[in-house]
Structure formats: C-alpha cells, structure tokens
Amino acid sequence: MTDPRQAQLAQLSGPGRTPALVVVDVQRDFADPLLLGGYGLTDQALTALDAAVTRIGDLVGAARELGVPVVWVELGSDPARPWRASNWLRQGDYDAPMGPDEPCVLGTPGAEWYRVRPAEGEPRVVKRGYSGFFDTDLDALLRATGANWLTVTGLTSECCVQATAVDALQHDWPVLLPQDATAAYDLAVHRAALVQLRLNTAVLCDADEVVALWKEATR
C-alpha cells in the first residue's frame, strides 16, 4: 500500500487550508516536577517531559508569530461534580467524593498553567474528563477561527492528548500530532500511544515540520 503521508501534508498546506493549534492540559499537576512525585517518573521520563513542554512553548510562540489561532484546553476538576466513573475505575468506589489527590481542582495551584499560558483573547476550554471535545464548545470555537485542520499537542500522550485527538478526527478535523511536543510519564507508554495515534487518528510529525507547514499555509 502506498504511503499517503506526502499527499496528506501537501493538502494541509494547500490553498484554503487554515491551521489551528490545540494545547491540552499543560498544567502544574501534570507537568511541574514538584507535583509529580506520586507518579514515579524516572529521570529519563522527567527529561522527556521537560523537553516536550519546551517544544510546546516553541509551537505556541510560532503560532502567534504566524497568526495561527491557539486554543487552550484545561482540566478543571470540580468537587461539586465529581467524575464518578473515574472514581470507580481508580478506587473501586463509584460514590466516593473527590479526593485530595484529584488533579487540577478548580482554583488550586495545580490547575495553573505551567511554563506556557494563554495570551489575552486566546480561547480557553475547561473540561471535566479526558477529551477537550466532550461536553464543551471546543468544536464551535475552532470552527469560529476559520481553521480546517488541527495540530494537537500537550499532556499526556496516552490520555488526554489521545482522547482529544481521537474526538477531533471524529468531528471531521484532519489532525497533526508533533511527537516531540507531547509526553507520558513512562517512555514505553508514550511509544505505545504514538503507535495507536499513527494507526487510527493522526499524522505524526515533529514541531519543526508543523511550523514549516504553518508557514506554507499562511503565506
């Protein structure tokens, strides 16, 4: 079977093709090494996470310079509306209240952005679960920018990035995923996530390739 990658990328930079960048969950509870002790990251995983956050920042800067819309997706855990199925999956108790280790509780330091943050006027979407599209207006916000293809980046590759990218595809968005601008807390898990994303969801690339396509699409 012929590899369609060249045609896929060429079409994204063609006439009338307009990109947008979606940044997922680059928040302190997911990215700040001072708050990640409970996840047991190795030194190698911490290094990869740090590098991914740096590349995410590079993409945000390039998008702003080129006029590519940036849309921010953040987890906002609400103690008044606990995600009961997640409680059941993690603790075996569907009816448990939100515990003290819940990530990104609204109004707490852990929910703050880490090393990158929205500029004034850039849209923000607060979600309760994994996908930025579930029970939010993300699709409408993206359509309003005039974009017709997406670059999805953020944390973590196997969880909220994957869920958001899958739902983007199911909302009929072509998706690029820069593999150097996302990470997981385990290197093997990250590699497995990229395999799944490549098979079913997105065209994988790196941040420099994304910026080159943006330049073609916006000139």
- Give 10-residue mean pLDDT values along the chain (219 residues): 83 89 98 94 98 98 98 96 88 85 94 98 97 98 97 98 98 98 98 98 98 93
Burial code of 131-156, b = ≥16 C-beta within 10 A, e = fewer? Answer: bbbeebebbebbeeeebbbbbbbbbb
pLDDT at 69: 98
Q: Which residues contact 33 (CB under 8 A, 6 or more apart)?
A: 41, 46, 49, 50
pLDDT at 106: 96
pLDDT at 92: 87
- The CA-atom distances, in angstroms, between 96 and each of 103, 104, 110, 144 are 15, 18, 21, 39
* Length of the chain measured in residues: 219
pLDDT at 98: 82
Q: How far apart are CA 163 and CA 166, in angstroms?
A: 5
**Strand-strand pairing, 19-24 and 70-75:** parallel
Bridge partners of residue 71, in order along the sequence: 22
Domains of the chain plus CATH, in order, are 25-218 (3.40.50.850)
Q: How far apart are CA 56 and CA 26, in angstroms?
A: 9
Three-class secondary structure of residue 120 per DSSP: coil
Q: pTM above 0.85? A: yes
pLDDT at 120: 96
pLDDT at 2: 61
pLDDT at 167: 98
Tokens of 7: 């045609």
Name the H helices within the chain. 5-12, 28-31, 43-66, 84-91, 138-144, 160-170, 187-200, 207-218
